[in-house]
Each structure stands twice: as C-alpha cells, then as structure tokens.
Structure 1
Amino acid sequence: MQRFAFKMKLKPGHEAEYKRRHDAIWPELKQLLKEAGISDYTIYLDEETHTLFAVQKQSGASSQDLGSTAIVQKWWAYMADIMDTNPDNSPVSVPLKEVFHLE
C-alpha cells in the first residue's frame, strides 16, 4: 500500500456543508473507492486558509484517477459549488510530496 496526499481548496463559509456532504457520502461512491484499492482516506481542513489536506492509502489508482466514472463526475458536480474546481468540475487538486514518515 502506498500513501498519497494532496490538497484542495474549500470556498470560505462552506466548512459545515462540506462536512455534512462527506458524512453522508454516497454508498456507491464509497464502494467504488474501496474497489479501486483506496482505504484509510482522511481529509483535514486548515480553517485559516480553507485548504483541504487529504491522505489516503492506495493499492491501485488514487481517488484522483477515477474521474472518468459517472459516479465521480456526479460527485464533482455536487461539490462544485463549495470548492475550487476545474472546468470539468473536478476539484483543483495539488499532489503533495512526502518528506517524512514515522511508523
């Protein structure tokens, strides 16, 4: 399993809505992530900068590689009003370089 980290940007004032939507993540999206080998997926929020910091373990593709699926495209459209997005509604996502890990 590899760890993968990336950051995204939440629009100010949408912290509670972002959490609400993720607390009710669609079962079919959750299943797709698991089937793709994604696990231990956590998203943190830096409230000062509205930066979302995500970390996941993956045995195959990352969640960022699933954009061709209908359910991910639907999720992106659902989230586009509260996040910085690209023209295709995908979240603006920046991969982060691992510089330290302690087991």
Structure 2
Amino acid sequence: MQRLAFKMKLNKGQKEAYIKRHNELWPELKKLLKDNGVSEYSIFFDEDTHTLFAFQKVSGDGGSQDLADNQIVKKWWDFMADIMETNPDNSPVSIPLEEVFYME
C-alpha cells in the first residue's frame, strides 16, 4: 500500500460548491477509483491560500492521477473546471508532494 499526496488550487469563493459536488460524488467515479486501488481519499482545504491538500492510500503503482484517459474522469474534470485551477485539458493543476515523515 502506498500513500500519495498532492495539492490543487480552488478558485476564491468556491469552497461550498466544491464540497457540494464532492458530497454528491458520482457512483461511477467512486467505483472507478476503488476498482483502481484507491482505498482512502481525503481532501483538506486551506482557507488562507485556497489550497486543496489531497491524500490517498493506493494499492498498486498508481492513484487517481493516473486515470487521465478515462472518460468518467474527463467528464468529472469538465464538471469541476469552473471552480478550480485547471490545465488546458480541464485536468486540475495538481502538484505531487513528497512524503518526509510517516508514523505508524
């Protein structure tokens, strides 16, 4: 099991929309993530910087960031593009973070 972390950026004033959309996460997207080894997925929000911090536990070599070619993922990116920083293909600008400490 590996632990992955990355950060993204939410547009100002979009916290409630982001929470609402994730509270109504599409069942097919949730299934896709679980089927691809994502067993835990948490996202935290820093109000001061509008930074989203994401953490995943993943079995296998990849995580949600490796599903870019999936149509469900592309549809989700299009759905989320109006409330966060995105790349030209509507994928969220996502910066991987290096784990520097872990305590079991």
* TM-score when normalising by structure 1: 0.99
Which residue number corresponds to residue 66 of structure 2?
65
**2-structure distance, mates of 1:19, 1:25:** 10
**2-structure distance, mates of 1:87, 1:58:** 27
Is residue 35 of structure 2 the alignment partner of residue 35 of structure 1?
yes
Q: CA RMSD in A?
A: 0.5
Is residue 9 of structure 2 the alignment partner of residue 5 of structure 1?
no
**1-structure distance, mates of 2:48, 2:59:** 33
Which residue number corresponds to residue 75 of structure 1?
76
**1-structure distance, mates of 2:78, 2:41:** 21
SS of residue paired to 1:76: helix
Which residue number corresponds to residue 23 of structure 1?
23
**2-structure distance, mates of 1:97, 1:42:** 17
Residues 50-96 of structure 1: CA distance to partner in whole angstroms, max 9, x if unpaired?
00000000112210010100000000000000000000000000000
Structure 1 unaligned regions, length at least 5: none
Structure 2 unaligned regions, length at least 5: none
Shift of residue 6, structure 1, vs aligned partner? 0.1
Which residue number corresponds to residue 45 of structure 2?
45
Residue identity (%): 64
Q: Which amino acid aligns with 2:30?
A: K
Shift of residue 39, structure 1, vs aligned partner? 1.4
* TM-score when normalising by structure 2: 0.98
**2-structure distance, mates of 1:85, 1:62:** 19
Q: Which amino acid aligns with 1:9?
A: K
**2-structure distance, mates of 1:96, 1:57:** 14
Aligned residues: 103
Q: Stretches of 4+ moved more than 3 A in 1?
A: none
